[in-house]
DNA sequence: GAGCACTGC
């Protein structure tokens, strides 16, 4: 790095230059107006500073490991339509590959597209590359993420999230605008990446170059999937990390992690510590590390996605001199954010995963051992600024014999209703024959098709109905799209639009670590006793009445960031509704209409009261519980029938976001499920035998 | 009377 000190000779030089420019100034003044001169100097200064910047950027580019193999890489891409690139951390693949293809002429007949699994990555990489190419962001180099299209007609290099490319392929299936597509970080195997993989194999243009980047572990599998295509290896530039395994299995990983961190801290070695924990709860326990009096000058900083952003920012701030940072993180720190200065990683070896069970239509959020790939990624976090150490709180044999090499891809453990709808709209006839790299369980596919049939998106032959076609337009789960579509006929679309937007954003309510009665009292002000959905509507309307104020949010224990996102989602959905000529009307204060509309899209997720505060699933008979955050919880108001938005298994089977409905609505709106049984005076809704359902699969 | 890893359109 260059440093400038105002020495004597430098001051002399400055004086000389000043005189020189003063002289110039006087001469110019004779011929030109002052303003013109100023403009000229401005331009000149800009040009020279840009030259300096360009030079250093060019030098930086040439210093990257990928530069040494540039020509080889371009040759192999020229000779093959699909190439797997293994690019280690720090190789420069993400910023350079696109530019090399541009320099090699690929942008003369189409764009070079590059997908990223995360929005921030797409934005920041595009910014960097536009600087390296000496152009303004959004011109030659641009990016596109949800809610933000920063590209123009000039754009030749386009970074985007994988979801954007997937949506684009809906509109033009052969990706005509592109001459080359790079799917970066494909080893993360996001749902969108996996669907794109299959589509790329289905009917790929013969002149489209596809470059898939992967980690070493998956490269052979990737190459085989795409038809034994070549693998190209780019070395990385990171520092070595010593890996130390636990000699014996640890019973309590929280305690073990705290002990290990303390040992590092007291050993006198310099550098910050990063501890990986599975969830928020464990992180809060580890924080008590700070209380240990014998640990001087240690700053314990938690980080997880639900943490308010001002507290999140703390991990990036420099600690005071002599203070060591000890960051306690979920797997958010594995890929999503990078902290410099980490020399030690303490890895508990667990993470939380959401796994979908199609048989009962329920997600289970559970703690699982991480995979070897995760473990290596975590260890790598210690080697970014210098040589590091990674302490694994599990044995070497556990690593080798008990951990999977890679994590089970999302497509095999998630509800596929959305994927099925998307593929159907792309004209994929038999989904079970679709070319997935790792096919999802058949049960899962059939269940999703069944759910789409219930919602009227698929007909009895399994083809897309007009309703289904309309549902594809919305970036929503099928039941939510359905609710929006139905609401137009029921005259409450403006209200449902808000509810759908609220449901598309996680965690609206903020609960402080030390729970206060005040917080609960404030919350009760919004509560609509018969419905969480209506409670959400209420919150949004009140926020709107308070001019979308963030102070109002803070005063009412509501996440401002989440509410802003709700507003964005609402506006995007509204645009689609207008475009699809769907009418936007509010039913005002007639909230029964809204409840009925919710019922029309969620009748398949209903529960019946059985005992005090106990519910059973109407279809499966499985006991389900109201979640304690529900407006209906412990209110003494227990309706006979409710529908739920989501069923999640944590410590119990919990229904999240519920609304009271009339039993008769269920029979009326979901006749394929329910019939009214007349038993004396009272009428009961009963489930239609399941054999009936199977006729349609 | 519970507690929610992370993404994305």
On whether the CB atoms of residues A159 and A114 are closer than 8 A, the answer is: yes
- Axis crossing angle, helix A478-490 with helix A560-579, rounded to the nearest 10: 60
The contacts of residue A572 (CB under 8 Å, 6+ apart) are A146, A147, A475
Using CA atoms, how far apart are residues A444 and A475, in angstroms rounded to an integer? 21
Give residue-wise pLDDT tens across range A150-172.
999 999 999 999 999 998 988 88
> With bands split at pLDDT 50, 70 and 90, how would you rate the model's confidence at A668?
confident
Average pLDDT over residues A610-620: 83
What pLDDT, in 10s, does the model give residues A352-374?
Answer: 888 888 888 888 888 889 999 99
List the nucleotides on chain B closer than 7 A to a protein CB.
1-9
Which nucleotide C1' is nearest A613 CA?
Answer: B1
pLDDT higher than 90, residue A499: yes
Rounded Cα gap, residues A190 and A411, in angstroms: 8
What is the pLDDT, as a whole number, of residue A10?
A: 44
Q: Pick the range with the lowest mean pLDDT from A82-96, A209-223, A253-267, A679-693.
A: A679-693
> Distance from residue A630 (CA) to nucleotide B2 (C1'), in Å?
11
pLDDT of residue A293: 54
Q: Which of residues 148-177 of A touch strand B (CB under 7 A)?
A: 161-164, 167
Output the pLDDT for position A51: 53
CA angle A598/A600/A604 to nearest 5° reads: 95
Residues 579-618/A with CB < 7 A to strand B: none
Q: Is strand B in 7 Å reach of the CB of A475?
A: yes
Longest dimension (CA), chain A: 108
- Which pLDDT value is given to residue A554? 82
Where does the pLDDT of residue A103 fall: very low under 50, low under 70, confident under 90, or very high at 90 and above? very high
Residues A182, A152 contacting (CB under 8 angstroms): no
CB proximity A80–strand B (7 Å threshold): no
- Please check whether strand B approaches the CB of A531 to within 7 Å: no
| pLDDT at site A37 | 39
Note the pLDDT of residue A52: 55
Per-residue pLDDT tens digits for A555-613: 888 888 889 889 999 999 999 999 999 999 999 888 899 999 999 999 999 999 887 77
Q: What is the predicted pLDDT for the residue at A147?
A: 83
Q: Which nucleotide is nearest to A331 (CA to C1')?
A: B5
Tell me what pLDDT residue A35 has: 41
Whether nucleic acid strand B comes within 7 Å of the CB of A295, the answer is no
For residue A349, what are its two tokens?
Answer: 């070896």
* Distance between the alpha carbon (CA) of A22 and the C1' atom of B9, Å: 58
- The DSSP element (H or E) to which A599 belongs, if any, is helix A591-602
pLDDT value at residue A18: 43
> Measured between alpha carbons, how far is residue A153 from residues A97, A103, A156, A362 in Å?
21, 19, 8, 45
For A314, the 3-state DSSP assignment is helix
Mean pLDDT over A31-49 rounds to: 44
Cβ atoms of A388 and A168 within 8 Å: the answer is: no
The answer on pLDDT for A218 being more than 60 is: yes
Q: What is the pLDDT of residue A86?
A: 93
The CA–CA distances, whole Å, from A668 to A142, A592, A619, A662, A672 equal: 51, 15, 16, 10, 10
pLDDT tens for A451-479 read 899 999 999 888 899 999 999 999 999 99
Tell me what pLDDT residue A23 has. Answer: 40
Q: What are the residues facing A590 on neighbouring strands?
A: none
Residue nearest to nucleotide B3 (CA to C1'): A281
Spanning CA of A528 to C1' of B7, the rounded length in angstroms is 32
Does strand B come within 7 Å of the CB of A146? yes
Answer whether any strand B atom is within 7 A of the Cβ of A377.
no
Cα three-residue angle A188-A329-A319, rounded to 5 degrees: 125
Of A366-370, A515-519, A544-548, A578-582, which range is least confident?
Answer: A515-519
Whole-number average pLDDT of chain A: 83
Would the pLDDT of A685 be above 70?
no
Q: Which helix (H) or strand (E) holds A234?
A: strand A231-234
- Would you state the pLDDT for residue A55? 64
Estimate the crossing angle of helix A532-545 against helix A591-602, to 10 degrees. Answer: 130
pLDDT of residue A244: 94
Query: Which has more confidence, A66 or A512?
Result: A66
Q: Are A273 and A326 in contact (CB under 8 A)?
A: yes
pLDDT (tens digit, 9 = 90+) per residue, A380-413? 999 888 899 999 999 999 999 989 988 889 999 8
Q: Give the pLDDT score at A481.
A: 94
Q: Is the pLDDT of residue A44 over 50?
A: no
Q: What is the CA A544 to C1' B1 distance in angstroms?
A: 32
Q: For residues A114 and A436, what is the distance between their CA atoms, to the nearest angstrom?
A: 21
**Are A83 and A182 contacting, i.e. CB atoms less than 8 angstroms apart?**
no
Q: Which of A228, A282, A242 is nearest to A258 (CA)?
A: A282
Whether CB of A507 is under 7 Å from strand B: the answer is: yes
pLDDT in tens, A303-315: 888 787 778 888 8
pLDDT above 80 for A619: yes
A379 contacts A345 by C-beta, under 8 angstroms: yes
Q: What is the rounded distance in angstroms from the CA atom of residue A48 to the CA atom of residue A393?
A: 54
pLDDT of A194: 92
């Amino acid at each position: 790095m260059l440093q400038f000190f105002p020495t004597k000779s430098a001051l002399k030089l400055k004086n000389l230059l000043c005189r020189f420019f003063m002289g110039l100034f006087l001469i110019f003044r004779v011929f030109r107006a002052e303003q013109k001169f100023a403009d000229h100097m401005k331009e000149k200064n800009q040009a020279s500073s840009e030259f300096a910047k360009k030079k250093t950027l060019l030098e930086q580019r040439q210093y990257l490991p990928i530069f040494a193999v540039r020509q080889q890489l371009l040759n192999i891409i020229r000779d093959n339509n699909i190439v797997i690139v293994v690019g280690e951390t720090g190789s420069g693949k993400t910023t350079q590959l696109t530019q090399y293809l541009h320099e090699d002429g690929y942008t003369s007949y189409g764009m070079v597209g590059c997908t990223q699994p995360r929005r921030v990555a797409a934005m920041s990489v595009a910014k960097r590359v536009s600087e390296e190419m000496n152009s303004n962001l959004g011109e030659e180099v641009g990016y596109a993420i949800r809610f933000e299209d920063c590209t123009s007609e000039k754009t030749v290099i386009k970074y985007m999230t994988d979801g954007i490319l997937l949506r684009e392929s809906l509109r033009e299936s052969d990706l005509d605008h592109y001459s080359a597509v790079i799917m970066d970080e494909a080893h993360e195997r996001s749902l969108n990446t996996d669907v794109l993989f299959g589509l790329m194999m289905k009917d790929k243009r013969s002149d489209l170059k596809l470059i898939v980047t992967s980690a070493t572990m998956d490269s052979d599998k990737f190459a085989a999937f795409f038809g034994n295509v070549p693998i190209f290896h780019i070395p990385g530039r990171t520092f070595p990390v010593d890996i130390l395994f636990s000699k014996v299995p640890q019973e309590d990983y929280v305690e073990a992690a705290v002990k290990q961190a303390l040992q590092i801290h007291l050993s006198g070695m310099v550098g910050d510590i990063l501890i990986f924990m599975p969830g928020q709860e464990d992180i809060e326990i580890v924080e008590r590390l700070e209380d240990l009096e014998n640990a001087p000058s240690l700053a314990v900083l938690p980080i997880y996605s639900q943490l308010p952003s001002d507290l999140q920012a703390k991990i990036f701030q420099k600690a005071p001199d002599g203070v060591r940072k000890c960051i306690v993180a979920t797997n958010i720190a594995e890929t999503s954010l990078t902290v410099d200065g980490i020399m030690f990683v303490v890895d508990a070896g667990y993470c939380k995963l959401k796994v979908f069970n199609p048989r009962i239509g329920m997600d289970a959020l559970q703690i699982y051992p991480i995979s070897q790939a995760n473990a290596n990624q975590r260890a790598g976090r210690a080697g970014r600024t210098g040589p590091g150490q990674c302490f694994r709180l599990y044995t070497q044999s556990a690593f080798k014999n008990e951990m999977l090499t890679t994590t089970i891809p999302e497509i095999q453990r998630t509800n596929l209703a959305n994927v099925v709808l998307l593929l159907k709209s792309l004209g994929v006839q038999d989904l079970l024959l679709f070319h997935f790299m790792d096919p999802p369980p058949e049960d899962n596919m059939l269940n999703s098709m069944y759910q789409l049939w219930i919602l009227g998106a698929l007909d009895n032959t399994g083809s897309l109905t007009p309703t289904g076609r309309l549902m594809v337009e919305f970036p929503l789960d099928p039941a939510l799209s359905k609710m929006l579509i139905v609401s137009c006929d029921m005259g409450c679309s403006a209200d449902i639009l808000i509810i759908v937007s609220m449901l598309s954003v996680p965690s609206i309510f903020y609960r402080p670590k030390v729970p206060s009665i005040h917080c609960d009292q404030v919350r009760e002000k919004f509560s609509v006793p018969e419905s969480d959905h209506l409670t959400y509507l209420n919150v949004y309307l009140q926020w709107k009445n308070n001019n979308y104020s963030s102070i109002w949010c803070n005063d009412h224990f509501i996440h401002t960031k989440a509410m802003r996102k709700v507003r964005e989602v609402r506006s995007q959905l509204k645009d689609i509704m207008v475009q699809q000529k769907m009418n936007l009307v509010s039913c005002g204060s007639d909230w029964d209409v809204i409840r009925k509309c919710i019922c029309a899209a969620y009748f398949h997720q209903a529960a019946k009261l059985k005992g005090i505060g106990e519910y059973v699933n109407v279809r499966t008979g499985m006991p389900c519980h109201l979640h304690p955050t529900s407006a209906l919880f412990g209110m003494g108001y227990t309706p006979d029938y409710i529908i739920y938005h989501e069923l999640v298994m944590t410590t119990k089977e919990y229904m999240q976001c519920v609304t009271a409905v009339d039993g008769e609505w269920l029979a009326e709106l979901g006749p394929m499920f329910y019939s009214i049984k007349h038993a004396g005076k009272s009428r009961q809704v009963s489930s239609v035998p399941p054999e009936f359902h199977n006729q349609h699969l």
